[in-house]
Structures are given as C-alpha cells and as structure tokens.
Amino acid sequence: MTTPLESPLDQLRRTGHLSRIFIDGEWTTPAGAESVPVVCPSTGETLAELPLGDASDVDRAVQAARRAFTSWSGTSPDERAVYLARLHALMLARAEIFAQALTTEMGAPIAYARGAHVPLAAEHLRVARDNLVDYPFRRQRGATAVVREAIGVCALITPWNWPIYQITAKVGPALAAGCTVVLKPSELSPLSALLFAQVVEAAGLPAGVFNLVNGTGPEVGERLAAHDQVDMVSITGSTRAGVLVAQAAAPTVKRVAQELGGKSPNVVLPDADLQRAVSLGVAAAFRNMGQSCSAPTRMIVPRALLPAVEELAIAAVEAMVVGDPFSDGTTHGPLANRAQFERVQTMIGAGIEEGAKLLTGGLDRPEGFTRGWFARPTIFSDVRTDMKIAREEIFGPVLSILPYDTVEEAVEIANDTVYGLGAHVQGTDLDAVRAVAAQIRSGQVHMNYPAWDPQAPFGGYKQSGNGREYGVEGMEEYLEIKSILGYYA
C-alpha cells in the first residue's frame, strides 16, 4: 500500500489541530506557554512542535466534562451504543491514516501498525459497545436493587508505546459506562490522539463528553489526578508514574486504576514443542520492539534443553528485519524515543557487566544505522535471578533466558519479581500447563500462545497495578455500586 498523498502531520497542520486541544466539543488553543518537539524515531529529527496545555486547560476540560456528565450518564445504553458504533466505524474508515501516524510518531513498522495497533484499538470500541447493550445495570437481590452507575468524570492517562490502543481501551468502556472523560495522551506520541479527537468530533458526541489536553505528567497528569472534580483516574504507564498519580489522587479519595510495569515470565515445560515455544516466545518478547508492559522477557527453560533453546533463539532473531518502519518488509523498527534507546543501552551494558552470556545483539545500533533510535535485538542466556536484566523492566528488545532444574523451581523463578502483569506457559500436557498457570501470580496467563482475546480482563498483581481493563470487567471499573433497599417490596 502506498503512502497517502496527505500525511497525518500534513492533515493535522491543515486542520489546525496539531496546535490545539479539544475541550467542550471545540478545538481551542492551549493556554500553556510550553511546547515539546514531535520527533521522528527513525531519524531523530524534529518534525513539529506540539503546544502543551497547563493547569488552566485541565480546569476547563474538567468543568466541561462535569457539565456534560448529568445528561450523558442519563442516556440509555442503546443511545451510548450508537455513538460507540460510530466511533468504531470511523476508526476503521480512517485506519490507514492512524497507521501512518503510529509509524511516524513512535516507529511501529507500518505492517504492524496496520495489522495490530489500529485494528486491535478499534476492537476495544466494538467490545465496549457489545458489552454495554446486554449489561444488567440493575440486579434484584431479594427486595434490594443493586444498581451500577457511572462513577463520574474520569481522567485517562495513556502511554507512548501503544498510543491509540490504550486510548480506546479506556475511552470505550468509560463512555459505555456513562462517564465523561478528559484524556491526557503521552506528549511523546500525540498524533494518533489528535486524530482520535477528530473521530470523536465526526461521530457527533455531545460537547464535553470527551476532552483532550496534551501536556506533561507533572503539569497536566498530576493536576488531573489531584483535581477535586475528577472522580476517577485510569493510568497506563510505568510503576513510578502510577505511584505519583496515586499519591496526587489520595487527598480526594478518588478511585485510581493502574496498569503499570511488568517483567513477564515464559515458562517452557520439558515436554513443550521446543521449536514453536522458542520461536514464538522470542517474537512475543520483541513485539512492538519489546515496548510492551506484558512482553514475556524472561524465558524460563529446562537446563538440559538450554543449548537447543539458545540455537533456536538465535535463529529467531536472525529472521527479523530491523529497518525503515515505512518499508513493508520491516519487522522491527526503531525504539520510540531517545530516552528509551538510552535505557535499553544501559541495561544491555548491565547484562554484559554482570556476566550473562550474550547470544546475539549487544550495544549500539545495528550495523548500517548511524541515526535514529534503532537498537539491536539482544538475547542473554545463563541469566541469574539476581541480575538487573532479570529483575528490572527494560522495555526494549532484550530477552533473558533463565535455566531451571525442576518445574517447582521454574514456578519459583516466574514469581520471583515485584511485578505480576502477564505470563506464558508452554507444554504438551495441558493438565501440567494448567497446574503451572494456576501457580503464577499475574493478572493474565497465556497457555501455548493463544489468540488475543479482547474480552479477557487485563491487569496486574503486585507492583503491576490494580483494576482491570478489557471485557466486561474493564467497563465495571468505571461504575459505582448503589444499593436501594426496599426497591422490590
């Protein structure tokens, strides 16, 4: 597919929306005096300047959402479902410009943007619509009615690594529940968020139901979290960012839902199909250039099979094509930004210094690359559980292979982390796989690389956060519970 005549940047410039935020149904100039560069991760060059909002913009957006809440929460589920259906259809109709935006702003290979980022994001809107239509907002329990009502104005804080996917994962269920929202997308990947605001405008949502304020975490994110007219905050980001948001929200005792960091294990049992287990495990760890909080970056394998695992893992990396993300043949593009590139280099250096066995990859850019945030897909073997690369979230294409001697030890290694977001288990004996899955302390466990399920609740144990996204449970995060005694007397 060829690049459209008008790029996402050109379209946003033409409409004037690159320099504006969306409040109360209108595009408006932010009051903030600061801006940040929109940087092309493939070249490191600045493409544009993005004006940022400030606390006064947050106040305007929150007040707009507050005014809209009474009428929006009073609409019927069928009415809200119509709007969600429009959003879904418009996203699909504009899928190519969303894909181009993602490749431009965070370096996702265009084929991956088209095949994963955009269609999966649209699915969150469809699922929200479908769950809404059949959801029992009032249940009878004896003479009491147990009612679930929209919690109120919700602040949604989304990350740079899956920009549009995380936006729809929050906006869809929040709107379905009857909440109004103020979105703060990452200022590092703002293009797809601005395009989504255009979709909201085109869908005809009532003014104030959806608002967008670009800004930094300290200026806009913390103001949203602390705002006394915000009833709930949902954040996807690092554990550090989640802690700061929770601290800012604490004085107003609002609900805080957090989807945070991860260091997910991939337990390969002795009877697993080794070729499939390893090749798909490397692919899963390196999807989105490793910039996924639930990526299984710790492959835990039987010690006796370690030489065979290493050979298969190297072959899997050699099949990858790191290159221009706008090329259809590229499987892996650059990291999304300079800070992440430097973080990955630091962690690869730590793995080397601590004595892990470097199988492939290593420091610096791949051969032939002199600019941009391209990193070498890297695999370490013979990794110990006390090494930094086994304990800290790297958020890049770095996989650690840890050997075990017994299945009990494999489970112990899998759980030896402060995180608990995702996990994988591979094996032929399903009962044995299920037994291991039951012992792993994480919000999701994938057995033998199943298909993505948008109805499967997603969220973390321990320092990976609290609350759930996706499916019915994702919508219920935005609902409050009321008991009306005597309702059925």
> How many whole angstroms separate alpha carbon 124 and alpha carbon 488?
36
Cα–Cα dist 424/403, whole Å: 16
Spell out a b/e string for 422-453, using b for 16 or more CB atoms within 10 Å of the CB, else e: bbbbbbeeeebbeebbebbbbbbbbebeeeee
Residue 211, H or E segment: strand 210-212
Q: Whose CA is closest to 373, among 335, 345, 346, 343?
A: 335
Cβ atoms of 464 and 444 within 8 Å: the answer is no
Number of alpha helices (DSSP H) and beta strands (DSSP E) in the chain: 17, 22
Give the pair of three-digit tokens for residue 239.
């554990």
**Of 40, 154, 179, 293, catalytic:** 293
d(CA 217, CA 49): 18
311 tagged catalytic: no
Residues 6 or more apart in contact with residue 311 via CB below 8 angstroms: none
Is residue 402 within 8 A of residue 299, CB to CB? The reply is yes
User: What does each C-alpha distance from 8 to 13, 98, 191, 194, 248 come to in angstroms?
Assistant: 8, 8, 7, 10, 35
Q: Which of 222, 259, 393, 476 is catalytic?
A: 259
Identify the residue whose tokens are 């390196």: 286
Largest Cα span, the chain: 77
DSSP 215: -
Q: Which helix (H) or strand (E) holds 302?
A: strand 298-302
> How far apart are alpha carbons 211 and 93 in whole angstroms?
22
Q: Note if 293 is an active site residue.
A: yes
Is 407:434 a contact under the CB 8 Å cutoff?
no
8 Å CB contact between 478 and 132: no
The catalytic site residues sit at 259, 293
